[in-house]
Amino acid sequence: MAAQKPKVAFYWCASCGGCEEAAVDLGEALLTVANQVDIVFWPVALDFKRTDVEALPDGSVAASFINGAIRTSENTEMARLLRRKSQAVIAFGACAQLGGVPGLANLTTREAILETVYQEMPSVVNPERVRPLPEHRSNGHTVDLPALVDPVRPLSSVVAVDYLVPGCPPTPALLAGAVEALLAGQLPPPGTVLAPDVALCETCPRKDTKPAMLAVTAFKRPHEVLADEATCLLAQGLLCLGPATRGGCEGRCISGNMPCTGCFGPTSRVRDFGAKAFSALSSIIEAKTEDAIAQALAGVPDPVGTFYRYSLPASLLRQKRTPA
Amino acid sequence: MAEAVKQPEPAGATFEPRIVAFFCNWCTYTAADLAGTARMKYAPNARVIRVMCSGRVDPQFILEAFAQGADGVLIGGCHPGDCHYQEGNYKTLRRVAVLRRVLEDLGVEPARFRLEWISAAEGDKVRSAINEMTEQVRALGPCRARPAAAAVEEVAV
């Protein structure tokens, strides 16, 4: 047998699969990576089972890349299992890092979601109010389902996380960089976000066209304007979260002439991404009276969905309070 | 700020609102000083934190106060046009416009957050703002914005 290659695992919790796509987007580089490491678990691509992971000695996996938020009891169990088997756990992507888009479920409750899905949808007929049960016995057999946990949480709320790779999804370059650093044993101190610690504006291809003093009269939504392809989007009145968002995404949205929505999350000095983002963005409104300010903000119909799109479960308040 | 909201309530006491107040050094803080030297009496529920400008109050401070158990947050700044730093209070006004909507969407009652323009001469306005807010928040009861333990089950490394 050849010399032992470092073992690597990939897993998905509450996510859309886009992070898995980032691995596939490595293209031919994926083959090089696959030659250098021994992939022991990757449900989306390889036929390994949970029992295969359980059979591995504790701490024998060099690194587990876990994407997705924590939404079910299964997510928690698998995260804890992989934590036990791994030397390093890497929160991969916005959902694992900050809760991500699934985290917007924290604007409502588990009960309200179940009620909508199993009762209120026009296509649902369910007079007996059948709901999924964590456990069901039938003919002497027991079947079980993971329970939906409330609220949605980032990965770091259930296991210790060593590194975080931001993005929705992270770029293939960031993934390749993380794997490379891992193979070379050149990892930064635990807790580090494996992306540059500067705002997107610093690396923006349109940086030179950003005025020294921005003065926005009204925030516009992308479908309302034909944006110039070379000028700072904020200067054109588009709500671009570049000033508050960590760089490292290669300005992919900007290159597509779309404003930044903040998927790379905060830089290391910020605790609550959404608060910092709306603080920065609302400050540049030109108006000085309440009415005119409200008018300028009419183009932001959903502030939480806009500024906390990827980070509500990791924010200071984490979820909506519902009346007792 | 942690100290401002973490003082324990005596056992068996009725609910006393804990209000964190960020006062601008140049106007509202001076007004509070004036209220004191004039021996005005007002509700002891506000824990005042002096800042150099209401524009220094990062929205993160306000959310942090709520997350740590404050029942209300009050910001006191200079009247529009009177900012010691020209534009600081306008920035506050703009941020607060978004913050109010964020708080509402996250289920924090609007009366728990208040922005007041209070000049250095308006000691009586400090008194009435704190008194009014204390009663409004008392009527609302304790704020439930502090994240439930289930949401913050952090894990030691």
DSSP symbols for A17-36 = SHHHHHHHTTTTHHHHHHHH
User: Looking at residue B149, what is its pLDDT?
Assistant: 65
Which residues 6+ apart lie within 8 Å of A4 measured at CB?
Answer: A38
- B152 in contact with A at a CB cutoff of 8 Å? yes
B10 half-sphere exposure, CB direction, 13 A CA radius: 2
How crowded is residue A120: how many other Cβ atoms within 10 Å of its Cβ?
A: 10
Cis before A205 (ω within 30): no
pLDDT-based confidence at residue A3 (cuts at 50, 70, 90)? low
- B33 in contact with A at a CB cutoff of 8 Å? no
User: Looking at residue B2, what is its pLDDT?
Assistant: 66
Q: Looking at A181-185, A296-300, B30-34, which range is the least confident one? A: A181-185
User: Looking at residue B3, what is its pLDDT?
Assistant: 67
Q: Distance between CA atoms of A140 and A292, rounded to whole angstroms?
A: 68
Return mean pLDDT, chain A.
Answer: 94
Contacts 24+ apart (CB under 8 A), A138-144: none
Q: Distance between CA atoms of B18 and B143, rounded to whole angstroms?
A: 9
How crowded is residue A151: how many other Cβ atoms within 10 Å of its Cβ?
A: 26
Does residue B140 sit within a domain?
yes
Contact yes or no for A220/A281 (Cβ under 8 A): no
Q: The domain spanning residue B27 has which CATH number? A: 3.40.50
User: Looking at residue B6, what is its pLDDT?
Assistant: 64
User: Looking at residue A120, what is its pLDDT?
Assistant: 95
Does residue B68 sit within a domain?
yes
Q: Looking at A85-99, A167-181, B100-114, which range is the least confident one? A: A167-181
List of chain A residues whose C-beta atoms are within 8 Å of the C-beta of residue B102: 274-275, 278, 303-304, 307-308
Domain carrying residue B134: 16-151
Amino acid at A174: L
Residue A90 has pLDDT above 90, yes or no: yes
List of chain B residues whose C-beta atoms are within 8 Å of the C-beta of residue A300: 98
Dihedrals φ, ψ of B152, to 5°? Answer: -125, 25
Q: Distance between CA atoms of B65 and B21, rounded to whole angstroms?
A: 10
Does residue B76 sit within a domain?
yes
Dihedrals φ, ψ of B79, to 5°? Answer: -60, 150
- A300 in contact with B at a CB cutoff of 8 Å? yes
Strands A70-72 and A148-153: antiparallel
Does residue B71 sit within a domain?
yes
What is the average pLDDT across A199-226? 94
- Domains along chain A with CATH numbers: 7-101+150-193 (3.40.50.700), 200-314 (no CATH)
Which of A270, A253, A269 shows the shortest CA–CA distance to A261? A253
Residue A73 has pLDDT above 90, yes or no: yes
Does residue B143 sit within a domain?
yes
A141 CA to chain B: closest CA distance, Å?
Answer: 32
Which residues in chain B show pLDDT less than 70?
1-12, 149-157
Q: How many domains does chain B have?
A: 1
Does residue B5 sit within a domain?
no
Helices and strands: H and E segment counts in chain B: 5, 4
pLDDT-based confidence at residue A267 (cuts at 50, 70, 90)? very high
Which of A254, A256, A230 shows the shortest CA–CA distance to A243? A254
Which of B62, B27, B131, B12 shows the shortest CA–CA distance to A274? B62
User: Looking at residue B157, what is its pLDDT?
Assistant: 34
Taking only the tens place, the pLDDT of each residue in B94-126 is 999 999 999 999 999 999 999 999 999 999 999
Q: Distance between CA atoms of A16 and B155, rounded to whole angstroms?
A: 25
What is the average pLDDT across A32-38? 88
Does residue B6 sit within a domain?
no
List of chain B residues whose C-beta atoms are within 8 Å of the C-beta of residue A158: 153, 155
User: Looking at residue B156, what is its pLDDT?
Assistant: 37
Taking only the tens place, the pLDDT of each residue in A9-31 is 999 999 999 999 888 888 888 88
User: Looking at residue A31, what is its pLDDT?
Assistant: 87
A151 CA to chain B: closest CA distance, Å?
Answer: 6
- B85 in contact with A at a CB cutoff of 8 Å? no
Does residue B9 sit within a domain?
no
Residue A162 has pLDDT above 70, yes or no: yes
What is the average pLDDT across A220-227? 94
A205 half-sphere exposure, CB direction, 13 A CA radius: 14
pTM of model > 0.90? yes
- List the 253-292 stretch of A: residues with Cβ below 8 A of B: 270-272, 274-276, 278-279, 281-283, 285, 287-288, 290
Whether B102 and A318 lie within 8 Å, measured CB to CB: no
Which residues 6+ apart lie within 8 Å of A42 measured at CB?
Answer: A9, A10, A11, A48
pLDDT above 70 coverage of chain A, percent: 99
